Every structure is written in structure tokens, then in C-alpha cells.
A = this chain, B = another copy of it.
Amino acid sequence: LRRELIEQTTRLVDRRVPVLVGITDTSLAESIRLAGTAADAGCDAVVVAPTYYFPLQQRDLVTYVRQMIAELPLPLVLYNMPALTSASFAPESVAELLHEEAIVALKDSSGDLDYFRAVREVTRIRPDFTLLVGPEHLLAETLALGGDGGVTGGANIWPEPFVELYNAAFAREEETVARCSQCIARLGEVYRVGEFSIPAIIAHTKTAASLRGICSDPPAPPIAPSTPEEREQINRILATLNLLKPAQAKCTNVQ
């Protein structure tokens, strides 16, 4: 099943951008098997979060990642997602793991700017190392802290402000950064429709993308789809942002 999805993705992407595959699992052996499938399908890297079933301590987490690297056919991206997993990659553990060249990046979804700053500090010894942020409302702040970019869900709905913000940040165009941040904040209203939860963010992201004609609504179960009322609210938000007419999807006239 996973093999089919990975192969379909690489076929569709057709090497235009890198394809990364999440291999987090409760067992090391399953993660390694999945990485092999990703490599066979022509992916560029694999992504692993700390285990989400067994709570690992830092020293066991470091051992686990080292055991994984020894068997991996592809570069590894660390995914720090403490809200959904049993542990965080402590900055000290990241520093230890940096000696492994196979580790090329870290995506931080903690939402904790102190953590982001600490990881940026310890990774300075590896200029090739990429540090990305998850929560998109922190994209501008983390770029200012030396971040290299983001893996931002909202870019699936409305890529323009994300791309513009990224370019403006490196060009030090502060007004553009501020305008794009405001667009991203407005888009964030989509996630807060209905009762707030991580599954709701996922469901509403798909609904919004669907309303823009990008994909179909339903998320993969067990994530429940947005209700019809929520869909209507999301539609209203997108209308306000002029996102229902593709030709006008620029990041300009947002109040």
C-alpha cells in the first residue's frame, strides 16, 4: 500500500522537486523497510520523528537514530514534533547526531522559538545542514533567526505568500515580509474553524485545497473530514481572501 503511494508520488512529481518520505514507526525494522521502498521509488530523503508509542529517553533516541542511519539507503531528515510523539530531539542530541553526515536537515514543529534558536546554534558547525520550521505562522521569525525555510501545510492551499515571504526575507524586504505574514495569518483562520485540534487542521487543509480545485476533500482515515458547516465557513474565508478565483490568488489585497 505504502509502496504504491510512494511510487505514484514520485511519478507525479517527476523530479521537479525533492520527494521526502516519512518513515516513523514503532519498530526500527519497519522504518528501515519503508526507507528501502522510498529509495527504490527514487525518493531523495527520508524523515523520522522520535517514536510515537514507546517513550524514549535522549540517549536511547540517539542510539535509535544511529542504528537507523547504519541501514538507511537515503539521507535522513529529523522531524521534531513533540506534541504528537513521545520525545523531542534535544539540542544536545542534535549536536551529537550532527557527526553523522547522513543527517541533512531538521524540521521543527515544536512552535518553540527558544528551541529553534538552540538547534540553529548547535548546527552552525555544519553549513550544509538545513533547518526548517513547521508552524507556518513562525516562518518569518524563524527565517530571521537563521532558519532555511519551512514545511508549511498552508502552502498546499495558497503557495504565493509563502514563496514571496521566503524570497523577501533573504532580500531583506521587510514590508513584503510583513504583508505576506499577514496573508499567512489570515489563511490560518481556516485551521481554527470548528473545534481546534490537529486532525481538524489536516481535514480543513484538504477541504480548502479541494475548494480551490487542487484535490478531493476527504483526508485519510482516521482523520474525520470537515463537516458541511465547517466546509461552508472555510469557503467564506477563502472567498474573503479572493482564493476562489485562481487568477486573483496573489498575496496583495488582504485587509
Contact = CB atoms under 8 A, between A and B. Distances in A.
Interface of A: 1-2, 26-30, 33, 51-57, 60-61, 63-64, 67, 84-86, 195, 197-199, 202, 220-224
A30 B54 contact: no
A199 B28 contact: no
Taking the full assembly, how many copies of this chain does it contain? 2
B63 A223 contact: no
A29 B222 contact: no
Contacts of A197: 55, 57
Contact of A222 (B54, B198, B224): B54
Contacts of A33: 1
Contacts of A26: 52
B222 A60 contact: yes
25 contacts: A1-B29, A1-B33, A2-B30, A26-B52, A27-B220, A27-B221, A27-B222, A28-B220, A29-B221, A51-B222, A54-B199, A54-B202, A54-B222, A54-B223, A55-B84, A55-B197, A56-B222, A57-B195, A60-B199, A60-B222, A60-B224, A61-B222, A63-B222, A64-B222, A84-B86
Contacts of A56: 199, 222
Contacts of A29: 1, 220-221
A28 B64 contact: no
A51 to B, nearest CB: 6
Contacts of A86: 84
A34 to B, nearest CB: 10
Nearest to A224: B60
